[in-house]
Amino acid sequence: MFSSRSLGYENLQCLANEKLTQTVAMPLSYDEAWLNLVSQAPITYSIWTQSEECYNCDLEYKAKLFAYDNVSLLLNTAHNIVLEFRNASNSPVCTKVLSLQEHGVYAMNITRKDVCPPLVATNVPDHIYEPLYVVIGLYLSLRLAWWLGSTLYRSPWLSKLFNTNPVIAEIENDLGSPQSSGDSATLLRYSTTAPSTPTSPGPAQMARARVRSLDVLRGVAICLMIFVNYGGGQYAIFEHSAWNGMTLADFVFPWFVWIMGVSLTFSLCSKLRSGASRAHLFLSVLRRSVILIVLGLVISNLNNSDVTKLRYMGVLQRLGLAYLFVASVETFLMRMQPIFTYDSHGILYHARDLIESWPQWLFTLLTAALHTGVTLYMPIPGCPTGYVGPGGKGDHGAHVNCTGGAAALIDRLVLGEEHMYQRPSCKEVYDTVVPFDPEGLLGVLTTIVLMYLGVYAGRVMLCFPKTQPRVIRWLSSATLFCLIGGWLCGFSVEGGLIPINKNLWSLSFVLVTAGSSSVLLSLFLLLVDHWRSWSGSPFHQAGKNAIFLYIGHTLTRHSLPWAWKVTHTHTHTEYTLMNVWGTCLWLLIALYMYERKCFFSV
């Protein structure tokens, strides 16, 4: 692996371990690794590093590596690390991107001839996702055991095995009688009755099945949200993206917005057809929006007693505002009866889900255009017009105070800096110095767009009662939305006209998350309602009380029995155990409330 003038692998490993023994006084924490640099060159190098998560950020000085010496670096393994060696004139002589693993000990042997050496692992790193694999395996095992037990319990073989009079049981089975005794007339009545055949579900049954699929998706979203908000096992994949790009955690809130759009379609249509006036419905929409906003204000300021620094925006506030606009438009524009009922084979009939709602589509397109126009063309004092970067040390520190561009400027003008979120996800990575609210005012516009895309999915369910046309339309729209979103971001993380950005709720972000929502609902419709291969439990029960679980887990996130002080901080195991336990505890509460017919709604 090394030249004859370099250290052998065994000597390099011994030297690295000896250096590590001298420098390490305590065990590594999670997402940490040691890198031991061993120099055989008569040159002094400066070591510069930067996380690859920090896009367009300058490298930062880390250490000095003197000639014929060695140095150990403690590095974070959550994201790739850019490592650079510079000579005495501060010119780069070697730049490498390192992908390190948790608790790994790595070494690099630097020679004059081989100044950009390979990375050597001198121990076996930990497999950080083992706790997650165990949790997933345990859940699947329990589901399999429950299914096997239920199947066995319902099987005729088990009934025969434990029946005290098998002869009578066989006669009764032949006669088709569920009775253990009775006269001949009764037996004759059962024997001559034609076997029942399944009938097609009526409108009420179809509505229940439809809501069940939606509740399963809502339950999955709330469970994932609880797990993420509780810490997500301290895994990077369950953290929000620092700026551009997406993680699994970034999908959760958009799913809720989309689901709310689907639900309001059923609610408003049902009330209109029952004879409620549109003015009365608007007052109901307004009341629900106010309740959501007030609840959001309370939750956003639980630990803040300074009224001069109240945070005005938040998750529920964003939901309330978007719901007010979308539900109001639907209240006054929704048709109670379809307009294409005369020709079930014509083109217009098959496109009625689009044609009947063209005014709402126009409103949605104008909203998307307004958000894009303000974002890209609104002048920002001291910043480039159309800037959508993170500020701080991003863009090589050229726009330190420009975090969020037009979105942040509007919030500062309307809300005031002291009423904005002070710890955005970009602060830790980009060292931002100005506040930025990821649930700010400008993003309400694209939240309205996303909620209306959910309304469209709900309208598909109203217009097409069968599974096949629903799934075809949902998957077709998901493909279209994702392609447009991918085109806007150039099918890349940092490129394109409008990058995917959860903090800004960019248009590309909204389209991609809408596509993912449609795919998931299609999957659950097939599994839960069409094939009936899964009851949706326990997520169905959680989805019936999603707002209660959201408020409850927010109020109790740092208290027993949902959380405790972690003592084993060197791995993800105890964090994962604690966060999974907290999530499961709320699932149990949801199951209990469901059995008690206790449902909380606003």
Q: Catalytic amino acids? A: 240
Distance CA 393, CA 427 (A): 10
Residues 109 and 12 sit within 8 Å (Cβ to Cβ): yes
Write down the residue that tokens 């996130």 correspond to: 557
Q: What is the DSSP string of 552-564?
A: HHHHTTTSTTT--
The Cβ of residue 25 has, within 10 Å, a number of other Cβ atoms equal to 6
Instruction: Provide the phi-psi class of 498: left if phi over 0, else alpha when psi is between -120 and 50, else beta.
Output: beta
Q: How many CB atoms lie within 10 A of CB 487?
A: 14
Between the CA atoms of 60, 61, 67 and 68, what dihedral angle is there, to the nearest 10 degrees? -80
Q: At residue 576, what are phi and psi to the nearest 5 degrees?
A: -65, -45
Nearest to 263 by CA among 327, 188, 317: 327
Q: What is the DSSP string of 445-464?
A: HHHHHHHHHHHHHHHHHHH-
Determine the longest span between alpha carbons in the chain, in angstroms: 107
Query: In terms of DSSP bridges, do strands 32-39 and 105-110 run parallel, antiparallel, or are they unpaired?
Result: parallel
Interacting residues of 430 by C-beta distance below 8 A, sequence separation 6+: 54, 57, 242, 243, 390, 391, 392, 393, 394, 403
CA distance 99 to 94: 16
Please give the full DSSP string across 65-116, using - where no structure is assigned: E-TT-EEEEEEE-SS-EEEEEE-TTS-EEEEEEE---TT-EEEEEE-SS-SS
Q: Which residue has the tokens 């800037």?
A: 387
The DSSP secondary-structure symbol of 49 reads E
What is the distance between the alpha carbons of residues 529 and 201, in angstroms, rounded to a whole number?
A: 11
- Two tokens, residue 597: 């017919």
Q: How far apart are CA 329 and CA 325, in angstroms?
A: 6
CA distance 580 to 138: 12
Helix or strand or coil: residue 569? coil
Q: Is 28 helix (H, G, I), strand (E, B) or coil?
A: coil
Which amino acid makes up residue 160?
K
The residue type found at 454 is G
For residue 565, what are the CA distances in angstroms to 344, 578, 584? 63, 9, 18
DSSP letter at 36 equals E
Angle (nearest 5°) at CA 268 between 263 and 272 = 155
